[in-house]
């Protein structure tokens, strides 16, 4: 089995390991009588951030972007080491948090080490862009934050959101034009938004003003307000940025803050960058693929998330018990529907 495919499937398995306990925990809070994954829930956030998103981002850095920038994937030994440390870190964290964090430090260091490839000229002579540098600095900051937490001997969960959020912002600084068809070139706005958002998350709950400023800059730089381009990514990315704004405003409610960003912003962005995801599938399956995007995951995910926000605002109806399952089904259905089409094309 090809290593890019192994890395992709590893991410999906870690998505289940981290996501299912979160579904049962929220249902339990709402009155569901049993929680078979109760012991796994304290680790779910870590597995989602560094396991699932770590695998997804690792695939981008070690495979898709590497092929585009250097003409080849990272060395197989490096990819194997990254997979091993990511899985070890995610699973070990359940039993021994500090050890799990150390393993993840190794996996993030691998990404940082390889990202230096993107600070030189590309195979066709292109110079590094804002995207290349933001990606590199995102990994430097991530490695530094993990190292600090290892040194302290305890974790600060919300700070670790900086890894996927800053990385997504870095990716979008380049790829948003690719997926929407809107031509934008505002590197300074993206860079400033990147800095403000990282600081805002770091000083929670006192960073809402910085996060709102970051939102204004990144939204303007994205060109999404023009409402032009391909409808599918525009709808998803507009929704993602709306959730980022909501999270930036309602920082006083921790559950709203965390899930509007971790679920609303991150997953709607992942769903919306279909063109970018195709690069991952092309390298995983070693063939050209054309996947027809579906709005079903988008509708299910956001219906579930909106129901969760309604509950967070103090409104409770029995139907809101479906909130967590719907979010989980929406996320899983996206990958199932996409992989099904890819496999069918190959057949």
**Model pLDDT for residues 54-73, shown as the tens digit of each residue:** 999 999 999 988 988 999 99
pLDDT for 335: 86
How far is the C-alpha of 261 from the C-alpha of 243, rounded, in Å?
6
Confidence of residue 30 (pLDDT cuts 50, 70, 90): confident
Model's pTM, two decimal places?
0.94
pLDDT of 124 strictly over 70 = yes
Confidence of residue 341 (pLDDT cuts 50, 70, 90): confident
Confidence of residue 26 (pLDDT cuts 50, 70, 90): confident
Higher pLDDT, 283 or 268: 268
pLDDT for 185: 61
Query: In Å, how far are 9, 28, 46, 104, 306 from 335, measured between CA atoms?
Result: 10, 26, 20, 24, 21
Could you tell me the two tokens for 98? Answer: 């500090």
pLDDT for 172: 86
pLDDT of 182 strictly over 60 = yes
pLDDT for 197: 97
pLDDT for 338: 80
pLDDT for 331: 94
CA end-to-end distance (rounded Å), the chain: 16
Residue among 230, 222, 310, 300 nearest 268 (CA): 300
pLDDT of 347 strictly over 80 = no
pLDDT for 300: 97
pLDDT of 33 strictly over 90 = no
pLDDT for 277: 66
Place of tokens 């993030």: 108
Query: In Å, how far are 199, 227, 235, 316 from 160, measured between CA atoms?
Result: 12, 32, 27, 30
pLDDT for 297: 94
Q: Is 263 helix (H, G, I), strand (E, B) or coil?
A: helix
How far is the C-alpha of 297 from the C-alpha of 293, rounded, in Å?
10
Higher pLDDT, 43 or 37: 43
Q: What percent of the chain has a predicted confidence (pLDDT) above 70?
A: 91
Confidence of residue 171 (pLDDT cuts 50, 70, 90): confident
Confidence of residue 74 (pLDDT cuts 50, 70, 90): very high
Q: What is the mean pLDDT of residues 109-134?
A: 94
pLDDT for 184: 64
Non-local CB neighbours of 261 within 8 Å, separated by 6+ positions: 161, 165, 243, 244, 247
273, 175 Cβ separation under 8 angstroms:
yes
How far is the C-alpha of 150 from the C-alpha of 54, rounded, in Å?
18
Domains and CATH numbers, the chain: 3-346 (1.20.210.10)
pLDDT, tens only, 204-241: 999 999 999 999 999 998 888 888 878 888 999 999 99
pLDDT of 307 strictly over 90 = yes
pLDDT for 313: 92
68, 123 Cβ separation under 8 angstroms:
no
Q: What percent of the chain has a predicted confidence (pLDDT) above 90?
A: 68
What mean pLDDT value characterizes the chain?
90
Non-local CB neighbours of 282 within 8 Å, separated by 6+ positions: 64, 288, 289
How far is the C-alpha of 93 from the C-alpha of 88, rounded, in Å?
8
Least confident of 30-34, 85-89, 253-257, 298-302: 30-34
Could you tell me the two tokens for 103? Answer: 């393993």
Confidence of residue 284 (pLDDT cuts 50, 70, 90): low
């Amino acid at each position: 089995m090809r290593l890019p495919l192994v890395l992709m499937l590893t991410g999906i398995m870690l998505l289940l390991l981290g996501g299912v306990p979160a579904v049962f925990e929220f249902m339990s809070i709402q009155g569901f009588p049993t929680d078979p994954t109760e012991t796994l829930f304290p680790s779910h956030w870590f597995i989602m951030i560094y396991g699932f998103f770590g695998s997804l981002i690792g695939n981008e850095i070690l495979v898709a972007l590497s092929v585009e920038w250097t003409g080849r994937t990272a060395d197989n030994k490096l990819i194997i080491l990254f997979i091993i440390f990511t899985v070890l870190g995610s699973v070990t964290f359940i039993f021994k948090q500090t050890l799990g964090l150390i393993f993840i430090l190794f996996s993030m260091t691998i990404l940082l080490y390889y990202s230096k490839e993107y600070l030189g000229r590309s195979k066709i002579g292109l110079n590094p862009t804002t995207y290349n540098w933001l990606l590199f600095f995102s990994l430097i900051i991530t490695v530094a934050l993990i190292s600090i937490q290892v040194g302290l001997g305890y974790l600060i969960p919300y700070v670790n959101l900086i890894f996927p959020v800053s990385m997504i912002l870095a990716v979008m600084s380049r790829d948003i034009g690719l997926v929407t068809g809107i031509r934008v070139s505002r590197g300074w706005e993206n860079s400033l938004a990147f800095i403000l958002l990282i600081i805002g998350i770091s000083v929670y709950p006192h960073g809402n003003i910085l996060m709102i400023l970051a939102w204004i800059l990144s939204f303007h730089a994205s060109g999404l307000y023009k409402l032009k381009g391909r409808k599918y990514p525009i709808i998803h990315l507009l929704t993602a940025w709306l959730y980022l704004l909501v999270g930036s405003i309602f920082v006083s409610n921790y559950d709203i803050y965390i899930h509007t960003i971790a679920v609303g912003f991150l997953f709607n962005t992942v769903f919306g960058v279909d063109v970018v995801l195709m690069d991952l599938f092309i390298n995983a399956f070693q063939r050209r693929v054309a996947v027809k995007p579906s709005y079903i995951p988008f509708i299910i995910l956001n219906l579930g998330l909106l129901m969760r926000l309604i509950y967070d605002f103090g409104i409770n109806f029995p139907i809101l018990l479906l909130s967590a399952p719907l979010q989980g089904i929406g996320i899983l259905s996206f990958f199932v529907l996409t992989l099904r089409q890819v496999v069918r094309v190959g057949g």
